[in-house]
């Protein structure tokens, strides 16, 4: 009896089926096929390539996003991307053509379509739109030859402290669940002041947001022109820069501060008409911030004393024509250095020969008399303590006069959602943001893919947490305790051992998924059929 030959092979499935599942649930493939109907290469659609990019971007492999086809060599690509899609098909040319098509159509416009599509399948109801910008460093030389058609890779204000590198920026808006609603790639030296107001207007127009949505941004947004432009067309919440004169005066005013619901803060509300728009300004004092600032304040006071003494020494070398001028100059110096007082102040007279002649003047010789300031300074302790008492203060502004100070503070503090989104994009575990492209147009398209990865991750995390709460179930976290609020990063880690086994017997291929356990099966059951199909 002759035994039939048997061959077998395994590939790593891991958590990639979860990413494919959320991509399918939002029906992104159908949408992209409509927007970009042509093939990218090897008879593979642009939607399939985009799905592959997202799987790579959320690969959790500590390898960069644009590493093809090596990333797919040990993945079951036919299971994840469709029958006939093999790792060797996913090469740089295929991905490059898809990035070109995305940029040609408009990366921001495609993302807007995806968000509107996602809203049909997931109850995304933005109550807060958190707007911010960040930038990413790139290596190499970039010569923008597209005559303004693409972003300009250039030097700008580096948030990663790498002043030696060129960069590009991203403007992003997230909702209260950290789900991104908007993305646009920008020049590396873009001004936040101009970008943020433009972003708010675009989001309002593109998503047809409810009137009661709050646009929340940091102090870079708050300028007189921006406040005028937004007017009463949309509600905003922003921190008021301490550089504005009205703000400076208010921060140093003696106010009666009342304790907030969050006892770490106290506040006092006033009305303002800055920029010609009626607003509520609330001065808050944070005890935590005050303690941090007090340490810096004490160090700063000592440094400023040295600088003040140097400034006074320079003034003491100046010759004045009369005593009144000298005293006036001394008083002006005190006004400009308000934390000091004169411990000693004398106006001394000196004389020298006319015509800049050297030596002691002769008897009866005409001389020119001049006046010098001789002074010593010390801190005006009353003013120092007064300024010290005002530490930890900041002002929040809104054009919704019905908000309470407690609501205003709570809403603004949620601005961290967009910052957490940027941290996700720069997370070294995912390596979503590492860019190894030479064409500005492709970098612009890749920026959209980066934020699309965040969209898929955020919706999957939100969905799992919602399902756990609805079913009153829980899964174990990193320390083996049950939780209803796991991070998707931890869930991905739990799926790391799952593989696909392929056996071929007499020309017939049989595929089976291995290493599913109780926890991973529970996750798949909660997430639904579109996820289960990749594993069952």
Q: Which residues contact 304 (CB under 8 A, 6 or more apart)?
A: 339
pLDDT at site 442: 87
pLDDT at site 433: 47
pLDDT at site 434: 52
pLDDT at site 232: 86
pLDDT, tens digit (0-9, with 9 covering 90-100), for 132-187: 888 887 776 666 666 667 888 888 777 767 777 788 888 999 998 889 999 999 88
pLDDT, tens digit (0-9, with 9 covering 90-100), for 374-389: 999 988 888 888 888 8
Q: Which residues contact 382 (CB under 8 A, 6 or more apart)?
A: none
pLDDT at site 497: 94
Instruction: Please name which of 284, 238, 235, 285 lies closest in space to residue 402, comparing C-alpha atoms.
Output: 235
Look at 188 and 529; give whichever has higher pLDDT: 529
Q: What average pLDDT does the segment 390-395 reach?
A: 91
**Any idea where the domains of the chain sit in the sequence?**
7-105+472-486+497-533, 122-291+392-426, 296-388
CATH topology of domain 122-291+392-426: Transposase Inhibitor Protein From Tn5; Chain A, domain 1 (3.90.350)
pLDDT at site 8: 78
What phi and psi values does residue 45 have, to the nearest 5 degrees? Answer: -75, 160
Residue for token pair 């030959």: 5
CB-side neighbour CA atoms (13 Å) of 423: 6
332/311 Cα distance (integer angstroms): 13
Which residues pair with residue 237 across a beta bridge?
A: 216, 398
36/46 Cα distance (integer angstroms): 7
Q: What average pLDDT does the segment 355-364 reach?
A: 66
Which SS3 state, helix, strand or coil, does residue 437 take?
Answer: coil
414/400 Cα distance (integer angstroms): 17
pLDDT at site 240: 96
pLDDT at 361 over 70: no
pLDDT at site 116: 93
Tell me the average pLDDT of the chain: 87
Strands 128-138 and 214-217: parallel
User: For residues 424 and 492, is the Cβ–Cβ distance under 8 A?
Assistant: no
What phi and psi values does residue 253 have, to the nearest 5 degrees? Answer: -80, 145
404/394 Cα distance (integer angstroms): 16
Q: What average pLDDT does the segment 75-86 reach?
A: 93
Which SS3 state, helix, strand or coil, does residue 50 take?
Answer: helix
Q: What average pLDDT does the segment 432-440 reach?
A: 62
pLDDT confidence bin for 1, thresholds 50/70/90: very low
Which residues pair with residue 10 across a beta bridge?
A: 501
DSSP classification of residue 360? P
pLDDT at site 142: 67
């Amino acid at each position: 009896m002759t035994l039939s030959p048997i061959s077998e092979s395994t590939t790593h499935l891991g958590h990639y089926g979860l990413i494919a599942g959320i991509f399918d649930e939002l029906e992104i493939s159908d949408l992209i096929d409509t927007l970009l109907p042509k093939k990218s290469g090897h008879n593979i659609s642009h939607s399939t390539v985009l799905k592959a990019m997202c799987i790579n971007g959320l690969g959790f492999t500590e390898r960069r996003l644009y590493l093809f086809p090596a990333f797919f060599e040990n993945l079951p690509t036919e299971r994840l991307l469709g029958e006939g899609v093999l790792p060797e098909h996913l090469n740089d040319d295929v991905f490059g053509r898809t990035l070109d098509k995305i940029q040609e159509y408009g990366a921001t416009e495609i993302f807007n379509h995806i968000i509107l599509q996602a809203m049909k399948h997931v109850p995304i109801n933005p109550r807060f739109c958190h707007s911010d910008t960040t930038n990413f460093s790139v290596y190499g030389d970039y010569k923008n030859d597209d005559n303004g058609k693409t972003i300009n890779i250039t030097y700008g204000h580096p948030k990663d402290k790498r002043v030696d590198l060129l960069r590009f920026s991203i403007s992003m808006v997230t909702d209260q669940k950290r789900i991104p609603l908007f993305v646009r790639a920008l020049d590396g030296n873009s001004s936040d002041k101009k970008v943020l107001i433009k972003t708010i207007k675009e989001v309002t127009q593109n998503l047809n947001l409810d009137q009661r949505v709050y646009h929340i941004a940091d102090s870079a947004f708050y300028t007189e022109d921006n406040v005028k432009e937004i007017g009463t067309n949309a509600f905003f919440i922003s921190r008021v820069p301490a550089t504005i004169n009205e703000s400076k005066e208010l921060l140093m005013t003696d106010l009666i501060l009342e304790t907030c619901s969050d006892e770490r803060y106290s506040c006092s509300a006033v009305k303002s008409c800055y920029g010609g728009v009626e607003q509520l300004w609330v001065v808050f004092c944070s005890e935590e911030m005050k303690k941090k600032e007090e340490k810096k304040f004490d160090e700063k006071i000592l440094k400023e004393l040295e600088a003040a003494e140097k400034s006074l020494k320079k003034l003491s070398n100046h010759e004045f024509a009369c005593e009144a001028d000298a005293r006036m100059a001394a008083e002006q110096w005190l006004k400009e250095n308000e934390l000091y007082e004169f411990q000693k102040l004398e106006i001394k007279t000196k004389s020298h020969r006319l015509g800049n002649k050297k030596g002691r003047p002769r008897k009866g010789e005409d001389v020119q008399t001049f006046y010098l300031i001789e002074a010593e300074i010390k801190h005006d302790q009353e003013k120092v303590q007064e300024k010290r008492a005002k530490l930890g203060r900041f002002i929040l502004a809104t054009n919704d006069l019905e908000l309470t100070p407690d609501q205003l503070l709570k809403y603004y503090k949620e601005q961290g959602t967009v910052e957490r989104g940027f941290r996700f994009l720069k997370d070294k575990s995912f390596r979503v943001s590492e860019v190894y492209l030479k064409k500005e147009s492709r970098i612009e398209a890749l920026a959209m893919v980066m934020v699309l990865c965040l969209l898929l991750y955020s919706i999957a995390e939100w969905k799992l947490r919602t399902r756990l709460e609805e079913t009153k179930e829980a899964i174990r976290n990193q320390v083996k305790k049950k939780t209803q609020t796991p991070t998707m990063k931890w869930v991905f880690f739990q799926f790391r051992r799952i593989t696909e086994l392929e056996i071929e017997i007499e020309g017939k291929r049989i595929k089976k998924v291995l290493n599913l356990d109780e926890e991973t099966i529970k996750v798949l059951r909660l997430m639904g059929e579109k996820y289960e199909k990749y594993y069952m």
